[in-house]
């Protein structure tokens, strides 16, 4: 009951301080508000950005390795990307994907893919710059693609040169706005392609790519349209079996690829084994630096806010010196006076923090409404903001509270 009474009195004193000295209180709380806004807004944006990027990377597949000519990142320990070392590497080949399926004991799927852009036509309707994906069996399972209408390719169809295709959701709605595309035909480079299925809409990832804007065709049919042996950014996408770690799969594929390409033990790899973890490691460093910058910027604002809170508390002690003397003469203990001012300091500081959090929340809602980037203020960040505010309140109120608790009751009552 004593603690509850103390808390209620602290709220009352804090409220009176806000009402009586509006401008002073506003200026004192402004530092805390700005500091919490800086720190929590940075944490919120980083959390939302990291969540979106990691969700995008998950769309590349879990426990998946991309065998390509070009690595996604410079070699470990190097800051420059040595592109000149990779220029003359051979590109991945369809036969190599088939060899991996035969030789690798840890591989569940291995799909050879080429990506290029062409105009897709249906009658007088045209879709410009559509990404065409020529693929061998396995890609649909590796990327966990769902079919909304129609069906997916059979393995026989994928291994043949039949002119069949599957549309992404956006391509389908653009070319066939008022009808079901399944069973209809499209034209690419003058070739007719029969549509057998449409993928479920997936949306765009953080890298600007989307399955909704693609057309899938069998790789051997794609070979009629383009030269799949030229450098077109070909890749062999490999998914490991259940329970196989990424490192084991990486080591196994490295050995298999070296064997396929007949590389001597002294020769370097002439292929890249790219994993999502390569990007994750670089992102971790980026997010760490960005978080640190947010803490430093917000820390200065909070420091100024802490001095503001301390200032208002010293003023409050001076204004209530007689009241403190009366409380002590009536038997109030030093710890009671000290806790009273500490609670008041914490209440003022937390109020400033809550205002900062409210501004962050409003900004997050506004950005989410006007853009496709979704920002959400998490419970963890809210608790972090409140904890920081309360800590600053305790630190800023400690000296004024000690001063108030150490006053002599007789001198305090006689203070003019």
Answer yes or no: do 292 and 317 share one domain.
Answer: yes
The structure tokens listed for 73 are 């990142």
Identify whether 263 is part of a domain.
yes
Residue range(s) defining the domain that contains residue 27: 1-57+282-414
The average confidence (pLDDT) of the chain is 83
Identify whether 75 is part of a domain.
no
Identify whether 66 is part of a domain.
no
Out of 231, 247, 270, a domain closes at 270
Answer yes or no: do 237 and 315 share one domain.
Answer: no
pLDDT at 282: 63
Answer yes or no: do 19 and 148 share one domain.
Answer: no
For 263-286, the pLDDT digits (tens) are 999 999 999 998 876 666 666 677
pLDDT at 57: 61
Identify whether 250 is part of a domain.
yes
Please compute the mean of the pLDDT values over residues 67-94 and round it to a whole number: 85
Answer yes or no: do 191 and 309 share one domain.
Answer: no
Answer yes or no: do 97 and 183 share one domain.
Answer: yes
pLDDT at 44: 85
Out of 270, 295, 314, a domain closes at 270
Q: In this structure, are residues 260 and 99 in contact, taking their beta carbons and an 8 Å threshold?
A: yes
Counts of helices then strands in the chain (DSSP H, E): 14, 10
For 358-392, the pLDDT digits (tens) are 998 998 888 888 876 778 888 888 898 889 888 88
Answer yes or no: do 160 and 206 share one domain.
Answer: yes
Answer yes or no: do 302 and 196 share one domain.
Answer: no
- What's this model's pTM, rounded to 2 decimal places? 0.64
Residue 111 burial (CB < 10 Å; 0-12/13-18/19+)?
A: buried
Answer yes or no: do 330 and 362 share one domain.
Answer: yes
pLDDT at 334: 76
Residue 199, pLDDT > 90, answer yes
Q: In this structure, are residues 341 and 317 in contact, taking their beta carbons and an 8 Å threshold?
A: yes
Residue 208, pLDDT > 60, answer no
Identify whether 188 is part of a domain.
yes
Alpha carbon separation from 3 to 95, 378, 395 (Å, rounded): 77, 31, 20
Residue 416, pLDDT > 60, answer no
What's the N-to-C CA distance of the chain in angstroms? 34
Answer yes or no: do 109 and 237 share one domain.
Answer: yes
For 320-346, the pLDDT digits (tens) are 788 778 777 777 677 777 877 788 788
Residue 61, pLDDT > 60, answer no
Decide: helix, strand or coil at residue 384: helix
Please count the structural domains in the chain: 2
The percent of residues in the chain predicted with pLDDT above 90, rounded, is: 29
Answer yes or no: do 105 and 160 share one domain.
Answer: yes
Identify whether 85 is part of a domain.
no
Identify whether 77 is part of a domain.
no
Give the residue from 108, 103, 128 showing the smallest Cα distance to 118: 128
Answer yes or no: do 148 and 259 share one domain.
Answer: yes
Residue 152, pLDDT > 70, answer yes
Identify whether 83 is part of a domain.
no
How many other CB atoms are found less than 10 A from the CB of residue 151?
11
Answer yes or no: do 404 and 288 share one domain.
Answer: yes
Out of 270, 291, 313, a domain closes at 270
C-alpha span between 343 and 316 (Å, rounded) = 13
Q: In this structure, are residues 298 and 35 in contact, taking their beta carbons and an 8 Å threshold?
A: yes
């Amino acid at each position: 009951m004593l603690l509850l009474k103390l808390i209620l009195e602290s709220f009352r004193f804090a409220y009176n301080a806000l009402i009586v000295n509006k401008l002073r209180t506003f200026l004192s709380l402004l530092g805390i508000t700005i500091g919490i806004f800086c720190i929590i807004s940075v944490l919120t944006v980083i959390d939302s950005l990291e969540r979106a990027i990691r969700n995008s990377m998950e769309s590349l597949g879990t426990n998946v390795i991309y065998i390509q000519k070009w690595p996604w990142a410079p070699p470990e320990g190097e800051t420059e990307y040595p592109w000149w070392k990779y220029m003359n590497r051979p590109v991945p080949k369809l036969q190599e994907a088939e060899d991996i399926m035969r030789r690798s004991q840890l591989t569940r799927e291995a799909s050879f893919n080429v990506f290029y852009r062409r105009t897709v036509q249906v009658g007088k309707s045209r879709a410009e710059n559509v990404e065409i994906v020529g693929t061998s069996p396995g890609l649909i399972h590796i990327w966990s693609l769902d079919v909304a209408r129609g069906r997916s390719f059979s393995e026989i169809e994928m291994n043949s040169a039949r002119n069949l295709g599957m549309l992404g959701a956006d391509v389908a709605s653009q070319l066939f706005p008022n009808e079901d595309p399944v069973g209809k035909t499209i034209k690419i480079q003058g070739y007719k392609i029969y549509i057998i299925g449409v993928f479920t809409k997936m949306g765009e990832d953080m890298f600007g790519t989307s399955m909704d804007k693609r057309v899938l065709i069998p790789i051997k049919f794609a070979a009629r349209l383009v030269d799949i042996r030229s450098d077109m950014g070909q890749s062999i996408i490999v998914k490991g079996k259940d329970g196989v770690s990424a490192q084991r799969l990486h080591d196994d594929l490295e050995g298999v690829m070296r064997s396929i390409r007949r590389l001597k033990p002294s020769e370097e790899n002439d292929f890249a084994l790219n994993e999502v973890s390569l990007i994750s490691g670089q992102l971790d460093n980026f997010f760490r630096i960005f978080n640190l910058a947010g803490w430093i910027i917000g820390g200065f604002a909070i420091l100024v806010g802490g001095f503001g809170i301390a200032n208002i508390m010293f003023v409050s002690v001076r204004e209530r010196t007689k009241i403190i003397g009366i409380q002590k003469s009536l038997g109030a203990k030093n710890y009671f006076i000290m806790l009273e001012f500490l609670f008041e300091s914490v209440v003022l500081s937390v109020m400033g923090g809550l205002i900062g959090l409210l501004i962050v929340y409003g900004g997050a809602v506004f950005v989410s409404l006007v853009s496709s980037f979704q920002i959400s203020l998490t419970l963890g960040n809210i608790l972090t903001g409140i904890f920081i505010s309360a800590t600053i309140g305790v630190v800023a109120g400690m000296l004024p509270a000690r001063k108030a608790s150490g006053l002599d009751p007789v001198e305090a009552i006689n203070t003019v």
